[in-house]
């Protein structure tokens, strides 16, 4: 028997916009992929540990970004809940916008979800093979992500300040 070239798409389950009942974006900007950078942020707001409470956080972040910041849509490409779930934000093919700072250590489930999302982005060729992982504060003057998460991501593959 021959088992070769079996392509396994190693993507975690992502809770889609329709599953969390996102509002339609007011505008979108196409992102050409694969992209060079994966940038990690912290969101501001209460922690969440269940799908229900995380969905309510994601919805309120989208509302804040669209009404207060007057952005087209939720600013993040994907959001990872304290429940370990990945929530689709602007998604793979739309450009996000980002801000915010907060200093907590994310749950192991959330950290693992972030790593598997990066692996997924590689397997879908949405992220270049020589991608660079950065924290938001490596790209501009901000306290995002907070000290604890910032320290954690520095040990992740491909991190470069």
> Distance between CA atoms of 13 and 47, rounded to whole angstroms?
21
Among 134, 136, 150, 153, binds Zn ion (CB under 5 A): 136
In the complex, minimum distance from the CB of residue 133 to Zn ion, in angstroms, rounded to a whole number? 14
Q: Does 144 bind Zn ion (CB under 5 A)?
A: yes
Residue 19 or 105: the one with the smaller Cβ distance to Zn ion is 105
Strand ranges inside 10-140, DSSP E: 14-15, 35-40, 78-80, 86-88, 127-135
In the complex, minimum distance from the CB of residue 141 to Zn ion, in angstroms, rounded to a whole number? 11
Site string for Zn ion, 6-45 (x = CB under 5 A): -----------------------------------x----
Picking from 32, 30, 37, 14, the residue whose alpha carbon sits closest to that of residue 136 is 37
The footprint of Zn ion on residues 71-100 (CB under 5 A) is 98
CA distances from 66 to 72, 89, 99, 102, 131 (A): 6, 13, 13, 20, 29
- Contacting residues toward Zn ion, per CB under 5 A: 41, 98, 136, 144
């Amino acid at each position: 028997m021959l088992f070769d070239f079996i392509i396994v798409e190693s993507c975690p389950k992502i809770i889609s916009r329709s599953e969390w009942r996102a509002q339609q974006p007011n505008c979108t900007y196409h992102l050409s992929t694969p992209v060079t950078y994966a940038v990690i942020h912290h969101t501001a707001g209460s922690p969440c540990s269940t799908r229900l409470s995380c969905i309510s956080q994601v919805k309120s972040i989208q509302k804040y970004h669209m009404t207060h910041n007057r952005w087209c849509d939720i600013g993040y490409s994907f959001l990872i809940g304290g429940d370990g779930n990945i929530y689709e934000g602007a998604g793979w093919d739309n450009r996000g916008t980002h801000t915010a700072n907060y200093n907590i250590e994310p749950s192991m489930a959330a950290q693992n979800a972030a790593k598997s999302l990066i692996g997924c982005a590689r397997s879908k060729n949405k992220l270049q093979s020589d991608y660079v992982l950065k924290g938001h504060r490596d790209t501009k003057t901000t306290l995002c992500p907070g000290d604890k998460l910032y320290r954690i991501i520095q040990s992740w593959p491909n991190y470069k300040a």
